[in-house]
Chains A and B, each alone.
Chain A
Amino acid sequence: MSLITPLLRAPLSAKFGLLVIVAYIVVALFAPLLAPYGETQVVGEGFAPWSPEFLLGTDNLGRDMFSRLLYGARNTLGIAFLTTSLAFLLGGLCGLVAAIKGGWIDQGLSRVVDLLMAIPQLIFALLILSVVGTTATSLVLVIALLDATRVFRLSRAVAMNVVVQDFVEAARLRGEGLWWLVTREVLPNAAAPLIAEFGLRFCFVFLFISALSFLGLGIQPPTADWGSMVRDNAVLITFGDLSPLLPALAVALITVSVNFVVDWVLHLSSGLKEC
């Protein structure tokens, strides 16, 4: 099946979403080439207004807002993507194994997940991060672990519907090992909802990191990050300057775009007729 045909038939919202995502990825990859100034380079006065020299003005320390916005895409998106991938690797795999194996393995994993989910996510993250320190690595690991619980729930539920089918039983009776069952029999049939969930989860992780950064426990200065950029320059809003809202707008735009695309993917995989 060619990928082009469904893409051309995609609704306008999905096309828009894809375009925005591609644009973000390009910006993230080529930020050093696109940005007029360095990420942490102090180039002028603090809180300079928009001008041909500084497209979006400067921030509280006199760094170019536009450049930091571009670098922010790289940092925030990159860390969110890494975290989501890790969460899926861990949660998805455990979920599939739990569904296939059943019994005490399923019980054990599910109860651990219940335990983790019983604690409010933000509080839990704040707690651990203030203990282990807010390095990028610990940030990624902690959020990945927390989000893996949600992924586990979904992948287990989806896989449960697959493992009861006869072809899985046939594979078991053939004597296939766990790895074959996971990768060849169950995963291909559970992929569609998981891919959609990846998009949504990515948004949640993204918003979560931004929230943590805003609270000061996320990505640490001087690294450019959309969450902390809002916090650092929030005071400008009182003067009627919209610049501090731009990073927030960037977050909102990617969130909406990803959701558009996910909606479309879900619609495609549900097999419903075009409407």
Chain B
Amino acid sequence: MSNDTLLEIRDLRIEGHYENAWHPLIKGIDLTLKCGEVLGLIGESGAGKSTLGLASMGYVRDGCRITGGSVCFDGIQLLESSAETLRKLRGLRIAYVAQSAAASFNPAHRLIDQHVETAVTNGGIDRAKAEAEAVELYRILRLPDPEHIGQRYPHQLSGGQLQRVMTAMAMACHPDLIIFDEPTTALDVTTQIEVLAAIRDAVKTFGSAALYISHDLAVVAQMADRIMVLRHGSLVEEAQTRTMLSAPQQQYTQSLWAVRNFHTSAKACPTHEKPLLEVRNADARYGHQPVLHDVSLKLYRGQTLAVIGESGSGKSTTARLISGLLQPTSGQVLYDGEALPADYRQRSKEQLRRIQMIYQIPDTALNPRQRIVDIIGRPLNFYLGLKGKALRERVAELLRMIDLEPAKYMDRLPRELSGGQKQRICIARALAAEPQLIICDEVTSALDQLVAEGVLKLLDRIQRELGVAYLFITHDVATVRAIADEVLVMQRGRVVDHGSREAIFQPPYRDYTGLLFSCEPEMDPDWLDRLLATRNPTSPLATV
């Protein structure tokens, strides 16, 4: 069996240079990939997935170095090969599909020109033939108008289409190995399905081996024959996909599996009360482009209203409307029965204090030049007039509330914290103002699953202790299922469905809600097959 081994990595060690020292990123990993096999690499950010993926092409990023081990591709020792040998391998026999296709294409060239470049210059294939093959690939990957799509520029395609074009490009020379580095992470769930199905078909058609890197277990379960779980640059567990899903051995793997089972207990919706926040028939536009149509919502004290939809559905715009950053062209926002001024600059300090925001990306939501005590202390000082010792004590109290030790973190700068800790600081800053409503804009989507679960649990605990209401914006069905009391489904700037969590998640679903839910990957290797089988393959999803 050893002669059909395509890629063999032995005791690979890679170090990265940061904070003025070399730190190990990959701590001696072994990996074997047979011809035609798809291997899934799973792990949280910083686990070394991408570094390992790139290393299997014999490449390391700037600021990294290989300190030991070997990478053997089809009998060629990549780490000892010359730049010339590697250049001939890459693109022809090993291809790479990056996370963000939109950022990886050259915006100044037509797609077809970029597609055939490697084949023509490195593979010595005739251009006309390469173009004909490209069209065939576009057809296999189910791109619209395969004959002419290559004549377009990258900006003329959607993210999902670009990702498929990039996959097609990777397959242009029928490589023996394709490395997919989170190819669907930046896509909406409905788009993700199409790309996953297309990638899987194409891999099967050409019999390429693949390394599929992702942080999403459910996605990897659809794609891979075998799964490796990585953590902190070491292998945690390795098994066949079905074995791994049904009987994970290590505690870490089990905890990754268990994340999806977190649920808050439902709270009764006090509909007879006056709603804390109400949006009435709001329309809004960016310039001349209408983005919201007749959006209405109600949120009661101590409740969580989850707003779910794909990107461009108007979720965040609704939040901007409520916070006063965008003015509606018609309709109004009522807080506690009273109309709020449409522009945040016209709102009183008290009105501003009651509504706080938590952002998607904690790195940009915290001023990198301010210490934690200043970040959390500012709203305390600004709204509540706390100073000196009283302020420090209150900051310490808030830090304890978000499970961070005050003495250790108070005088740190944001860059000295991890992503999850930064998001906790953002929560503490929002809480410092003692608000009644917190708008959470995709607060967990930039975080790893385990960390995200911790943040959700924290938010739930705070809600129980302080009775704040959350307007929770997300594109993730699992998150909605975990924490929502009420759910609002948005599509293209309209509210298409709403109701309590039980009602929404109770079949039968409304059309679009059902589509959205069905696109949520399940921890079942047969899920994608089942889903595709139930759908009419001739109707493209985008038109639903």
Contact = CB atoms under 8 A, between A and B. Distances in A.
Interface string A175-208: 1100000001100110000000000000000000
A169 interface: yes
Contacts of A111: none
B352 A189 contact: no
Interface string A155-170: 0000000000111011
B475 interface: no
Given A185-B367, A189-B369, A273-B17, A172 B344 contact: yes
B367 A167 contact: yes
B368 interface: yes
B17 A166 contact: no
24 contacts: A165-B364, A165-B365, A166-B359, A167-B365, A170-B429, A171-B367, A173-B323, A173-B324, A173-B325, A173-B352, A174-B352, A174-B378, A174-B379, A174-B382, A174-B383, A175-B344, A175-B349, A175-B352, A184-B370, A189-B367, A189-B368, A189-B369, A273-B17, A273-B63
Contact of B369 (A171, A174, A176, A188): A188
A167 B366 contact: yes
B497 to A, nearest CB: 29
Contacts of A173: 323-325, 344, 352, 357
Nearest to A191: B369
Of all A-B residue pairs in the complex, the 3 with the closest CB atoms, nearest first, are A188-B369, A166-B365, A166-B359
Contacts of B370: 184, 188
A166 B369 contact: no
Contacts of A184: 367, 370
Given A167-B365, A172-B344, A173-B344, 4 more contacts: A170-B365, A171-B367, A175-B352, A188-B367
Contacts of B383: 174
Nearest to A165: B364
A172 B379 CA distance: 12
B361 interface: yes
Contacts of B325: 169, 173
Interface of A: 165-167, 169-176, 184-185, 188-189, 273
A57 B324 CA distance: 73
A273 B17 CA distance: 8
A169 to B, nearest CB: 7
Nearest to B348: A175
Nearest to B349: A175
A165 B323 CA distance: 16
A170 B359 contact: yes
Most B CB atoms within 10 A — which of A165, A167, A188?
Answer: A167
A167 B364 contact: yes
Interface string B63-76: 10000000000000
B369 to A, nearest CB: 4
A189 B63 CA distance: 25
Nearest to B352: A175
A169 B361 CA distance: 13
A173 B370 CA distance: 18
Nearest to B320: A169
A185 B366 CA distance: 10
A152 to B, nearest CB: 22
A188 B368 CA distance: 9
Interface string B28-66: 000000000000000000000000000000000001000
A165 B361 CA distance: 10
A170 B324 CA distance: 12
Nearest to B414: A167
A86 to B, nearest CB: 25
A223 to B, nearest CB: 42
Nearest to B382: A174
A174 B353 CA distance: 7
Nearest to B344: A173
A189 B344 CA distance: 24
Contact of B361 (A166, A172, A174): A166
A105 to B, nearest CB: 14
A27 B182 CA distance: 61
Contacts of A171: 367
Contacts of A188: 367, 369-370
A190 to B, nearest CB: 10
Nearest to B379: A174
A175 B369 contact: no
Contact of A166 (B344, B349, B364): B364
Contacts of A166: 359, 361, 364-365
Nearest to A188: B369
Contacts of A165: 364-365
Contacts of B361: 166
B23 to A, nearest CB: 13
Interface in B127-173: none
A167 B347 CA distance: 19
Contacts of A273: 17, 63
Nearest to A274: B20
Instruction: Output the residue of B63, B368, B383 with the most chain A CB within 10 A.
Output: B368
Contacts of A175: 344, 347, 349, 352, 382
B15 to A, nearest CB: 13
Nearest to A185: B367
Interface string B208-225: 000000000000000000
Interface string B322-360: 011100000000000000000010010100100001010
Contact of B357 (A170, A185, A189): A170
A174 B383 CA distance: 9
A174 B366 CA distance: 14
A235 to B, nearest CB: 55
Nearest to B366: A167
Contacts of A176: 382
A133 to B, nearest CB: 44
**Most chain A Cβ neighbours within 10 Å, of B357, B365, B367, B433:** B367
A166 B366 CA distance: 8
Contacts of A169: 325, 357
Contacts of B349: 175
Nearest to B368: A189
A68 B323 CA distance: 64
Contacts of B323: 173
